Chain A
Amino acid sequence: MTDGSVNMLRDFAEVLRRSGIGPSPAELIDAVHALTVVGFRRDDLKAALAATLVKQIAHRKQFFELFDDYFKLEDGEAAGKGRRQRRRGGGGGEPRVSEELGLGGRGRRREEPPERRNSTPSREVAPRRTDARGRLVATLGKHLPPERSGGTYHSSPLDRPRVESLSHRRLLHAQLSDLTADDSEEARALAAFLARRLAHRLRRRTAAYRRGVVDIRGTVRRSLSRGGALIEPRFRRRRRRPACLLALCDVSFSVRTAADLFMTLLAPARMFFRSVQTLAFVDKAVPFEIENGRLVFDGTIDLDARSDYGRALKCFWEGANRQLVNRDTVVLFLGDARANRLPPRPDLLAQIATTARCLLWLNPERVDRWNMGDSMMAAYARYCDAVICCDTLEGLVEATRTALLSPARGRSHEWTAVLASDSFRRDP
């Protein structure tokens, strides 16, 4: 394998790093080894680099685009050179990435003209490659955070999680009400990533709970077959009925972005609950799901109507959906509690709270706006086990984490910690 091909791969890896795919040096070495056995046929090259350099499914599409961009530029120029050589009678033939870049393909490299043989491949292709790479990096730079678009970029494992980029950090801390349409798309993708990470962290957190406590008697009994050596501990699992989750989301215009992101974050809920039901409401409650990133309602709902919490609660509690609430149900309410001067009917919420295992309210408005104007948060808060402010994506993730831990908590004094730390609760 020539220096030219190694340099080419190194440059391509740098482009990948700048775009956030970031192959490590070890992966780059694997790629070089792969090329020595695969050769330089375009499709093989692409598949081999994908297998060795890209380790996340989410990065594959971007990798293929970058590969096509990077090698298309070279190919186009290579084709021009090939034509020029043919005109000069200097051979050339079908343009090929490996040949034109001075790469050594396994038994596939053709006879080179004397002038090319005399010059080192890397020197020959360096200016073209620099131009091509320069154009590509200049294009990529538009999409990079400001401090990364210039200067040296060092990839490290810490740089890889997507939340680490500046734009994502901004999205995490921005007020949900201030997000633009473009932001919302990006925030949804980020929320999907955060949901997966949340699921992973919660699985670890709840592992000890699921495992239970050490059963001393059982452990001693088991050790008898091994001469009394306490080698394998035995655990006593906590017997608790698995909880069901019911999420009621206000999808009126003012909180629709929050509802959308909340549903994305709620994706891993099925791992922690026996069943998950989602209902949306503006002035009445209908079941809904997220399909292809969009809210899909199983029934008619007027999204442009003014939100009417009292009517929605009445419609829910006196309709067929009432059976969804029982002593195993964790009820999540997402809404700004703005009843538009209509009767709020907190008494119905009190009945739901009495029946359910626990009731959490997530409010996507800033705390200082609660109880201002037509906000009825205080009237509802007195019946909730916890009221959590989630005016940013970060807050929403934290609120979802709290909600997903609820099966392990139940309705008990443990909620006090949540109330004291990041919640607001006030009697009217």
Chain B
Amino acid sequence: MSSTWTLSELQTGLRTAGYVSAPHIDMALFLALALQKPILVEGPVGVGKTELAKAAAKLLGSRLIRLQCYEGLDESHALYEWNYQKQLLRLQSDSLRGATWSETERDIFSREYLLPRPLLSAITSPTRVVLLIDEVDRADEEFEAFLLELLGELQVTIPELGTLRAEHSPLVLLTSNRARELSEALRRRCLHLPMELPDSSRELEILRLRVPELDEQLRLQAAKFVANLRAMALQRSPSLAESVDWCRALAALGARELDRAIAKDTLGLLVKLREDREKAARAVEKLPRKADTP
């Protein structure tokens, strides 16, 4: 139960990896490394949950293994699958050369015939990896229960092979958009890290780090405009990721200041629902018109 990282090192390391952190994020990551516990990151879409995993992988110099969850995801897609075609070929060749069934059975249920999926890859990796189980709330409850052994013991059980324990404990991050409530059993096994949209100063800092090519004045205007949109209680408020994308678009368009025309043209990057566009248009109308070029 030891970590080679201190809190301040993690904070600066994350920033170097392109992630503007917050004290509770640093603490969760620090504890996850020190106690070898998974982190459950909960929050709305586009607040930087997945980015945190990427930044952590960059910081630790580890490979990022990602498992995207969806309804109907099962262990054959998440953990392992037997290579049926290869097994069939082996069975046919063995029957031709007259091998006994016991020999064949021992061979076709060995690791050679196993197709590792993300979870098994993370467990059997010879080096420490960062395992991102993304949007776990989209998976079924059965899959959630299946994850408990991995999260609690950092091991998986394959009936034909036995229990495989991680040689190098992976850093496991689970993300959830709260599309559904996760079970108490899963929550208990994880450290909890809630993430909300950042306040304006942190958002500005993030924009400064992620879109350095944007003019500082325009960055301030953009952050203020996004904050206005969020205050309008749209059905779907612009996320941080959308805010970053929008600023990148402004930079790509060579904008110098935020005027009505450019905001109108690029509004689709921030507002994705038809019902919200009318409301957002009101915020656009408050922007100054484009100054006449001499």
Q: Which of A226-234, A238-246, A302-310 contacts B (4 or more CB under 8 A)?
A: A226-234
Q: Are A292 and B233 in contact (CB under 8 A)?
A: yes
Residues on the A chain within 8 Å of B72, using CB: 211
Given contacts A37-B34, A226-B84, contact A43 B180 (CB under 8 A): no
Is A48 within 8 A of B31, CB to CB?
yes
A55 touches B187 (CB 8 A): yes
- Residue pair A229, B84 in contact (C-beta under 8 Å): yes
Q: Does A147 contact B (CB under 8 A)?
A: no
Partner-contacting stretch, out of A22-30, A73-81, A333-341? A22-30
Chain B positions 66 through 98: 1 when the CB is less than 8 Å from some CB of chain A, otherwise 0:
000001100000000000110010000000000
Q: How large is the interface on B (under 10, 10 to 19, 20 to 34, 35 or more residues)?
A: 35 or more
Partner of A48, one of B2, B27, B184: B27
Stretch at the interface among B153-161, B188-196, B202-210, B217-225: B188-196
B74 CB, min distance to chain A CBs, angstroms: 10
A204 interface hit (Cβ, 8 Å): yes
For residue B104, CB closer than 8 A to chain A, the reply is: no
Q: Do A196 and B188 touch across chains, with their CB atoms under 8 A apart?
A: no
A42 to chain B, nearest CB (A): 12
Q: Are A57 and B42 in contact (CB under 8 A)?
A: yes
- Contact of A197 with B by CB under 8 A: yes
Judged by a CB distance under 8 angstroms, whether A401 is at the interface is no
Q: Mark B166-197, 1 if CB is under 8 A from A, else 0.
A: 00000000000011110010011011111000
Complex Cα gap A207–B190 (Å) = 27
Most buried by A among B85, B88, B192: B192
B164 at the interface (CB under 8 A from A): no
The answer, yes or no, to whether A17 is at the interface (CB within 8 Å) is: no
In the complex, the answer to whether A33 meets B181 with C-beta atoms within 8 Å is no
Interface centre among B72, B141, B184, B235, by most chain A C-beta atoms within 10 angstroms, is B184
In the complex, are the beta carbons of B27 and A44 less than 8 A apart? Answer: yes
Taking the nearest CB of chain A, how far is it from the CB of B289, in angstroms?
27
Shortest distance from the beta carbon of A171 to any chain B beta carbon, whole Å: 20
Q: Which of A26, A38, A57 contacts B27 (CB 8 A)?
A: A38
Contact status A160-B184, CB under 8 Å = yes
A170 in the interface, Cβ–Cβ < 8 Å? no
Contact of B188 among A24, A57, A291 (CB under 8 A): A24
> What residues of A have a CB within 8 angstroms of the CB of B141 in the complex?
204
From the candidates A27, A37, A57, name the one contacting B31 in the complex (CB within 8 A). Answer: A37
**Cβ-based interface call for B35 (8 A):** yes
B24 is an interface residue with CB less than 8 A from chain A: yes
Least Cβ–Cβ distance between B158 and chain A, in angstroms: 17
A47 touches B180 (CB 8 A): no
Q: A163 contacts the other chain (Cβ, under 8 Å)?
A: no
- Interface check A50, CB cutoff 8 A: yes
Collect the chain A residues with CB atoms within 8 Å of residue B37's CB.
Answer: 30
Identify the closest chain B residue to A41 (Cβ).
B7
A47 in contact with B194 given A55-B40, A291-B233 (CB within 8 Å): no
Q: Does A225 have its Cβ within 8 Å of any Cβ on chain B?
A: yes
Q: How far is the CA of A119 from the CA of B224 in the complex (A)?
A: 58
The CA-CA distance from A179 to B208 in the complex, in Å, is: 50
Complex CA distance for A115 and B141, rounded to whole angstroms = 56
A34 interface residue, CB < 8 Å from B?
yes
Q: Which residue of B lies closest to A196 (CB)?
A: B181
Please give the distance in Å from A89's CB to the nearest CB on chain B. 36
Q: Encode A49-61 as 1/0 by CB contact (under 8 A) with B.
A: 0111011110010
B181/A47 in contact, CB under 8 A: no
What is the minimal beta-carbon distance from A117 to any residue of chain B, in angstroms? Answer: 28
Residues of B within 8 A of A47 (CB): 23-24, 27-28
B residues in contact with A55, CB < 8 Å:
40, 184, 187-188, 190, 192
In the complex, what residues of B have CB within 8 A of residue A48's CB? 27, 31
| Interface membership of A382, Cβ < 8 A | no
Residues of A within 8 A of B235 (CB): 289
How many residues of chain A are within 8 Å of chain B by beta carbon?
40
Q: Is A314 an interface residue (CB 8 A)?
A: no
When the two chains form their complex, are residues B184 and A33 in contact, meaning their CB atoms are under 8 A apart?
no
**Nearest residue, chain B, Cβ from A287:** B275
With both beta carbons as reference points, the residue of chain B lying nearest to A277 in the complex is identified as B275
Q: Are B188 and A51 touching (Cβ within 8 A)?
A: no
> If A30-B37, A47-B23, A47-B27 touch, does A200 touch B184 (CB 8 Å cutoff)?
no
Residues of B within 8 A of A207 (CB): 71, 140
Query: What residues of chain A lie closer than 8 Å to B246, measured between beta carbons?
Result: none
In whole Å, how far is A172's beta carbon from the nearest beta carbon of chain B? 18
Q: Which A112-170 residues have a C-beta within 8 angstroms of B?
A: 157, 160
B3 at the interface (CB under 8 A from A): yes
Contact B181 A37 (CB under 8 A): no
Q: Which residue of A56, A196, A227 is within 8 Å of B88 (Cβ)?
A: A227
A374 to B71, CA, bound (A): 49
In the complex with contacts A60-B194, A231-B84, A52-B31 CB distance below 8 A: yes
Residues of B with C-beta under 8 A to A34: 31, 34-35
A207 closest partner in B (C-beta): B71
Q: Confirm or deny: A358 has a beta carbon within 8 angstroms of a beta carbon on chain B.
A: no
Report if A199 contacts B (CB, 8 A).
yes
Is A425 part of the binding interface, using a Cβ–Cβ cutoff of 8 Å? no
Note all chain B residues with C-beta closer than 8 A to A38.
Answer: 27, 30-31
Q: Is the CB of A51 within 8 A of B193?
A: yes
With beta carbons under 8 angstroms apart, the residue of A36, A60, A196 that contacts B180 is A196
| Residues of chain B lying within 8 A (CB to CB) of residue A43 | 23
- Among the listed B1, B7, B140, B191, which residue makes an inter-chain contact with A52, where contact means beta carbons less than 8 Å apart? B191
A200→B34 contact, CB < 8 A: no
Give the complex CA separation of A289 and B234 in angstroms: 10
A83 part of interface (Cβ distance < 8 Å): no
Taking CB as reference atom, which chain A residue is nearest B71?
A: A207
In the complex, the chain B residue whose C-beta lies closest to that of A58 is B194
* Residues of A contacting B27 in the complex (Cβ-Cβ under 8 angstroms): 38, 44, 47-48, 51
Further contacts, 11 of them, CB under 8 A, given A38-B27, A207-B71: A27-B188, A30-B35, A30-B191, A47-B23, A47-B27, A52-B191, A55-B188, A199-B180, A203-B180, A204-B140, A289-B235
Q: List 10 A-B contacts (CB under 8 A).
A: A26-B188, A37-B30, A38-B30, A47-B23, A51-B24, A54-B192, A197-B181, A207-B140, A227-B84, A227-B88
List residues of chain A with CB under 8 Å of any chain B CB. Answer: 24, 26-27, 30, 33-34, 36-38, 43-44, 47-48, 50-52, 54-57, 60, 157, 160, 196-197, 199-200, 203-204, 207, 211, 225-227, 229, 231, 271, 289, 291-292
